[in-house]
């Protein structure tokens, strides 16, 4: 229910535009496909994907034979759902038996710390032993904020003074996690994209420390991006992918965004699965991402 409400903004714009497009439908001709493409682009689906979808639909006789708006709608929705399925990207977080280490990256303000806090509360509730690491030592505020979330979720946080070496925070956290049989370690990092070389070096160093302690970790490197920024979120995802391999995306602030269509664009252009979606500022405003449910929801 909450999920439905949170996506209202996206659905309103996405769905309305699409309904309008269908209402204008006369025949399935070249103009129809051009309008479909425009409609999808306006809904932040991204130009490439919009073109692919309309191109593939052009070649399907089913569409030309469709007699009603409903039949057309269904065929188009199926096509989009299929596009998602094509790459078989894993949408579930890679939780292992024993210690699972998730690294979080993303620029300031996108909702990285909030996502960690929500996830910590979720795992804690499930009875897992959770530990947080405040490896964004660049800003004192970031450390305080994570500590605050730790209190809220009743989960300990490994911290050092602002300005400390982030890798040393990660080292301490890995030691503690192993010594205390922690199930889930969530690591917050500083996302200064302005200085890509430094960021890359910092993340490499953190990665090395993690691997020295647990060779198969990190089990996830999650990039948080803000849905309200639309195509900018995709740009950030592209840039971060060049800095470090990203295994999943947390798309935040979908509740305040009319640009939910970028989910499709992100997955298609980057081949990185969206694994989490943020639907508000509260502790339980986090959902696993279900692409089929999401796509069908957009067209309701």
Which residues of the chain form contacts with ligand GDP (CB under 6 A)?
106, 108-114, 145, 224, 252-253, 255-256, 278-281, 285
Please report which helix (H) or strand (E) contains residue 135, including its range. strand 130-135
Closer CB to ligand GDP, 83 or 253, in the complex:
253
Q: Where does 110-227 have alpha helices with state H?
A: 112-125, 140-153, 166-179, 196-213
**Contacts by 158-165 with C-beta closer than 8 Å and gap 24+?**
158/131, 158/132, 158/133, 158/134, 159/134, 160/134, 161/137, 162/137, 162/138, 163/137, 163/138, 164/137, 165/137
* Nearer CB in complex with ligand GDP: 44/188: 188
Q: Is 189 annotated as a binding residue?
A: yes
11 in a labelled binding site:
no
CB of 199 to ligand GDP, least distance (A): 14
| Helix (H), strand (E) counts: the chain | 13, 8
> Which residue has the CB atom at the shortest distance from ligand GDP?
278
Q: Is position 247 annotated in a ligand binding site?
A: no
* 120 versus 224: smaller Cβ distance to ligand GDP: 224
* Least distance in angstroms from the C-beta of 258 to ligand GDP: 13
Helix (H) or strand (E) holding 39: helix 30-42
Confirm whether residue 229 is marked as ligand binding: no
Contacts with 63 (C-beta within 8 Å, 6 or more apart), sequence order: 28, 57, 72, 75
CB 152 within 8 A of CB 119: no
User: Was 111 annotated as part of a binding site?
Assistant: yes
Say whether 94 counts as a known binding-site residue.
Answer: no
| In the complex, minimum distance from the CB of residue 30 to ligand GDP, in angstroms, rounded to a whole number | 41
CB of 98 or CB of 109, closer to ligand GDP: 109
Binding site listing for GTP = 106-113, 188-192, 252-255
Binding site listing = 106-113, 188-192, 252-255
């Amino acid at each position: 229910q909450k999920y439905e409400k949170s996506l209202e903004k996206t659905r309103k714009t996405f769905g309305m535009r699409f309904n309008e497009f269908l209402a204008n439908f006369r025949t399935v001709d070249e103009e129809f496909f051009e309008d479909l493409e425009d409609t999808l682009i306006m809904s932040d689906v991204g130009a490439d994907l919009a073109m692919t979808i309309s191109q593939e639909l052009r070649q399907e006789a089913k569409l030309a034979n469709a007699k009603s708006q409903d039949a057309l709608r269904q065929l188009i929705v199926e096509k989009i759902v299929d596009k998602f399925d094509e790459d078989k990207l894993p949408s579930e977080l890679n939780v292992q038996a024993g210690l699972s280490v998730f690294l979080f990256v993303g620029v300031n303000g996108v909702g990285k710390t909030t996502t960690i806090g929500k996830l910590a509360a979720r795992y804690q509730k499930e009875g897992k032993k959770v530990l947080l690491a405040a490896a964004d030592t660049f800003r004192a505020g970031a450390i305080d904020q994570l500590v605050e979330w730790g209190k809220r979720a009743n989960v300990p946080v490994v911290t050092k003074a602002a300005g400390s070496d982030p890798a040393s925070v990660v080292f301490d956290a890995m030691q503690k996690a192993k010594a205390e049989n922690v199930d889930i370690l969530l690591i917050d990092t500083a996302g200064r994209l302005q200085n890509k070389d430094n960021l890359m070096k910092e993340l490499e160093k953190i990665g090395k420390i993690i691997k020295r302690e647990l060779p198969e970790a990190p089990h996830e490197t999650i990039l948080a991006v803000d849905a309200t920024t639309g195509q900018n979120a995709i740009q950030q995802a592209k840039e971060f992918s060049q800095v470090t391999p990203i295994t999943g995306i947390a798309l935040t602030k979908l509740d305040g965004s009319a640009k939910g269509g970028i989910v499709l664009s992100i997955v298609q252009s980057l081949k990185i699965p969206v694994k989490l979606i943020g639907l508000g500022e509260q502790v339980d405003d986090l959902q696993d991402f279900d692409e089929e449910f999401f796509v069908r929801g957009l067209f309701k």
